Structure 1
Amino acid sequence: MTYMQLVTVHLATIIPAIFLGAYLLSQSKGTGKHRAIGKLYMSLMVITAGVTLFMPAYVGPQLFNHFGIIHILSFVVFFSVGRALYAARQGDIKTHRKNMVGLYVGGILVAGVFTLSPGRLIHGWLFG
């Protein structure tokens, strides 16, 4: 896939995840609806994190001429989703909640701030 195709897939997964995550954080927990939307949200986050691993970093230092500091967030997403899912299945709601809030804050809000940094594609589109 080209870089722009990867960007398209990334945006197609992260934009709905932004809204689904906000909805999940603001609504009643433990319902069938929460579980169903939560599975969709987690799936979108895993797909978007996976896609970003194929997108080279063009800003800041690189490892292996590809990975940048922002790629750490992709691995944080994988860990958080796995841990949150496991915790929910074990009935450990406190750990589930902690990982899901962290996933939203780190995987979406912090990454979004990085996206708006000068030299990044979305920054160029918005302010360019």
Structure 2
Amino acid sequence: MTLTLHLTASLLALGVGALVLLLRKGTLWHRSLGVVWVAAMALSALSSFWLGGGVLPLVGHLGPIHLLSAWVLVALTVAVAAIARGQVQRHREWMLGAYLGLLGAFAGTLVPGRWMSTQLGLW
């Protein structure tokens, strides 16, 4: 169940995040989809802590990818706080950084031998 939750939240964040980045900023659509994106990203990051780290475990079942999950939670917090204070540029930079982190994590799942790459029949 945790894997399904994680995959659903991650794929939702991947798609919605692309839309948010393409939309005109400050509009109702941008803000509404942004809320959905932040929730999906947070759920993706939080759910990852119940999944194994795969290769190179650092502490217990947690691996290097979990450092990215922790960073995403920090980035989301900073970005939301920034926009609440009217710091648009800071908000933009942290949100873009969080999305790039998601893209990096997704790319990592496509490495040969990882579950996602196997399921997609890539390798």
| TM-score (norm: length of structure 1) | 0.90
Q: Distance in 2 between matches of 1:64 and 1:100?
A: 28
Q: What is the CA-CA distance between 1:57 and the residue it aligns to?
A: 1.4
Deviations 1:26-57 (A, max 9, x none): 11111122111111100010001000011011
- Identity among equivalent pairs (%): 34
Deviations 1:48-101 (A, max 9, x none): 100001101122x21222111111110111011000000000000000000111
- Which contiguous aligned blocks of 4+ residues in structure 1 show a shift greater than 2 angstroms? none
- Is residue 77 of structure 2 the alignment partner of residue 118 of structure 1? no
Aligned residues: CA RMSD: 1.1
Q: Can you give the 5+ residue segments of structure 1 that lack an aligned partner in the other structure?
A: none
**Aligned pairs, number:** 122
Partner residue in 2 for 1:90: 85
Q: Distance in 2 between matches of 1:114 and 1:30?
A: 32
| TM-score (norm: length of structure 2) | 0.93
Q: Can you give the 5+ residue segments of structure 2 that lack an aligned partner in the other structure?
A: none
Partner residue in 2 for 1:67: 62
